[in-house]
A = this chain, B = another copy of it.
């Protein structure tokens, strides 16, 4: 006899709960979407960034998340084998992609290729909110070594970006 934890073979999986329509609320929040609140990293890897998972489903190969960086905040500087497809939904800021610093405006697109160092930073005056499409199955991010940071900082534009003075 199958244990309660196991379904008989051939039994279809229960369909996940799917809400057909979730309204946008004020301030880039959505009905039925949990916001992961600000939580500072004691190693200062990131600063004042929130995450909301907009689409994640066992029947979809991709996920779509919304990240919002408060003025002066930034995402983690990292790299990984999986890619990111990013669309700026709100505000402006800068990003580092590989060895290039880019100025970002609303609705701009950013493509993060595999194993490419990247970080997003909001400007001083307004938040930076962005959609990020990612594979549901993905590897864990890698953090830079001190040597990686030294090498990146050898470019004055990247040093200014990392210091938040772009």
Contact = CB atoms under 8 A, between A and B. Distances in A.
A54 B109 contact: yes
A110 B111 CA distance: 24
Contact of A97 (B21, B107, B114, B131): B21
A34 to B, nearest CB: 13
Interface stretch (A38-46, A70-78, A98-106, A148-156): A98-106
A137 interface: yes
A18 B57 CA distance: 27
A62 B59 contact: no
A87 interface: yes
Interface residues of A, number: 47
Nearest to A55: B85
A61 B61 contact: yes
A83 interface: yes
A13 B95 CA distance: 28
A102 to B, nearest CB: 4
Contacts of A55: 85, 109, 111, 133
B137 A61 contact: yes
Interface of A: 15, 18-24, 28, 30, 33, 54-55, 57, 59-64, 82-83, 85, 87-89, 95, 97-98, 100, 102, 104-114, 131, 133, 135-137
